Amino acid sequence: MNKSEIDALIQQASALMEQQHYPAAERLLEQVLAEDGEQSDALALAGKMAADRRLWFKALPLLERAIAINPGVAWYWNLHGIVNGELRNTEVAYQSFVQALKLNPNAYNIWGNLGTLCMKFDTDKAEQCFLKALELNPNDTYTLTNFG
């Protein structure tokens, strides 16, 4: 299987996940990972799929593998932060969001996620994060709901 075929399968899996067709998406990702077990996007998507299903302990090692292979992808770190936040690993979640923002400082969704996490321990920092998210995207419903 060549790179373009792998990329097409990953795109198909992502589209299926958006429609919540998880078994079909899982089969495609398994096919990709059987071909290339180090395919970081497939690992991260498998981690996202587990997180979408609230299977935090299944998601975490998949995301950690994706990050180990390709640490320069902000959305891997963002997902890692979300999962660790759900597992109450607050410091790890915080550091993951910070790393994601170093890689993509204009990602309003990551600012919103960091703000939500900070609500647990630093409301001033949370407010700063929510304001930054709204500065980047004034129509962000997630931030408006959590901050408003």
Q: Measuring CA to CA, how many Å separate 12 from each of 3, 88, 126?
A: 14, 32, 36
pLDDT of residue 142: 87
> In this structure, what DSSP letter does residue 83 have?
H
Mean pLDDT, residues 119-140: 95
Give this prediction's pTM. 0.93
pLDDT of residue 148: 64
* Cα four-point dihedral sign 112, 95, 85, 32: positive
**Per-residue pLDDT tens for 50-62?**
999 999 999 999 9
**Per-residue pLDDT tens for 34-53?**
999 999 999 999 999 999 99
